[in-house]
Amino acid sequence: MRSNPLFVPRVDAALPAIGPPTSPPPATDTAFSSAQFAALAELNQALECELLHCQEKLNLVCAISARVATLRSVDDIESALLGDLGTMLDADALFLDRSGCCLRVSLGTTAAGSAPGAAQVRAALAPYVEAARVGRRVIAVPDCGALGGARVLLGRLPRLESEAGVVLALRGSTRAPFDATDVLAAEAVLAYGAETLSNVAMQRHLHRTTLETVYVLVNAIDAKDNYTSDHSERVGALARATGQRLGLPQEQLQTLEWAALRHDVGKIGIPEHILNKPGKLDPDEWELMQRHPVIGHEILKPVTNFEPFLNAVLYHHENHDGSGYPEGIAGHDVPLEARIVHVVDIFDALTTDRPYRRAFSREQALGMMERDAGTVSDPDITAALVHVVRSGALFTAGDFGHLRANGANAGS
């Protein structure tokens, strides 16, 4: 095929325009003016101050929580909580409104006359107080006209056994109002405080109920055994005094006293004709009597609060040389509380009339115990008991009147 000299190939692609080169667009100006730099620096400084303020409040919240956690009394917890809250909020005055009464909380920083009185505060803020009590939220009042423009913050603080209180923090009119950080910090402290107060109050209630129940059991046992009236309470008081002589800490003294009060609870399972038999027990009766520590242990075991002193109840008839019951363990294998109760129990038994003999005098009993120390009883605990008894400190109490007369008749 011959080529056509007039044929021109079709070109679909657009050809670039021909002309003088174009200049690039002008660059965008990104430079800040000095005024913008100043505004940015001011904003950064404000944010930094706000962060520091929040951090300080957070640290104070943590410190308050840690301090409150170490306290055990409801009144102590509330007092510490309110004092620390007033400090954290930098308040000029702090009040607590509860059960129709508004009381000022001492912060130790403000003169008594420099803030409005409690009655004036309650009258001026009554609607806010009820709103905080019912609404369960922290309220900030930036300018209270009825109190001369005072800044006010209100928050709810409940207690298990009474109407929920409302805490009122005040700052003077020339001070900065309470801000969002103050509100959040107060909410955290009051919520933690309310939970702690509730838990402690509940524990105290359970403790009281448990103690009352145990006293009913103890009284039932003492009533069942005609010759051991008030025995458990005497052993409890003397065990605590002996523990103090040995230098035991407060918590262990409480456990010891509870153990001593309950040590004979198992006698409720022993027939009265055995408990009150005027003569010597026969082998079968003695075997049954020896079961009372195990019976007591089984009676108390289901109650969680009794766990710390269960072993003292179980082992309070174990002798130092291993000749006791129910398991025949010896020396320091016997728990300390059980060894103390054992020594005190022996002393009270010796100085009390029994069905088969008259009571020994105080000095006769102490002499017998000193002779048997190291075999029947722990020698160190026996020495501590002897010191307590001879010091006479306990015998002003009514439960030990028999020992005053007993000891005097014996010439000691």
Q: Please determine, for residue 6, whether its predicted confidence score (pLDDT) is greater than 50.
A: no
User: Which CATH number characterizes residue 344's domain?
Assistant: 1.10.3210.10
Same domain, yes or no: 237 and 281: yes
Q: Would you say residue 165 lies in a domain? A: yes
User: Amino acid letter at 116?
Assistant: P
Q: What is the 3-state secondary structure (H, E, C) of 188-241?
A: HHHHHHHHHHHHHHHHHHHHHHHHHHHHHHHHHHHHHCCCCCCHHHHHHHHHHH
Q: What is the DSSP letter of 110?
A: S
Of the residues 201, 216, 248, the one at which a domain ends: 201
Segment 316-334 shows an average pLDDT of: 96
Please enumerate in sequence order all residues whose Cβ is within 8 A of that of 237, keeping only pairs 6 or more positions apart, or say none: 257, 394, 397, 399, 400
| Residue 8 within a domain | no
Given a contact cutoff of 8 angstroms between Cβ atoms, the answer to whether 338 and 314 are in contact is: yes
The span from the CA of 310 to the CA of 312, in Å, is 5
Per DSSP, the three-state class of 105 is strand
125 and 174 Cβ atoms separated by less than 8 Å = no
Residue pair 308/298 in contact (Cβ under 8 Å)? The answer is no
Whichever domain contains 162, its CATH number is 3.30.450.40
Lowest-confidence pick of 31-40, 57-66, 91-100, 146-155 = 57-66
Same domain, 249 and 369: yes
Region 319-346: mean pLDDT is 96
The per-residue pLDDT for 21 is 53
Would you say residue 210 lies in a domain? no
Which residues share a beta bridge with 191? Answer: none
41: in domain: no
Dihedral of CA 329/331/337/342: which sign? positive
**Rounded CA separation 293/265 (Å):** 8
Per-residue pLDDT, 348: 93
What pTM was computed for the model? 0.56
φ, ψ dihedrals at 103, nearest 5°: -120, 140
The pLDDT assigned to 166 comes to 95
One domain for residues 62 and 175: yes
- State how far the Cα of 232 lies from the Cα of 313, in Å rounded to an integer: 12
At residue 376, the pLDDT reads 96
**Mean pLDDT of the chain, nearest integer:** 81
Confidence band of 11 (pLDDT split at 50, 70, 90)? very low
Do residue 325 and residue 385 come from a single domain?
yes
Say yes or no to pLDDT of 17 above 60.
no
Mean of the pLDDT values across residues 320-337?
Answer: 96
The one-letter amino acid at 230: D
For the record, the structure tokens of 233 come out as 């309470």
Q: What's residue 255's pLDDT? A: 92
Q: Is residue 46 in a domain?
A: no
How confident is the model at residue 139, as a pLDDT? 94
In a domain, 153, yes or no: yes
- Report the DSSP beta bridge partners of residue 155: 167
Whole-angstrom Cα distance, residue 190 to residue 65?
10
**Do residues 177 and 254 share a domain?**
no
CA-CA distances (angstroms) from residue 371 to 211, 242, 330? 36, 19, 18
Predicted pLDDT at 337: 97
Domain containing residue 161 = 51-201
Examine the domain organization and report whether 273 and 382 are in the same domain. Answer: yes
At what angle are helices 231-245 and 180-224 packed, to 10 degrees? 130
Work out how many domains the chain is built from and give that number.
2
The stretch 268-277 carries a mean pLDDT of 88
Q: What are the pLDDT digits (tens) for 156-171?
A: 998 766 778 999 999 9
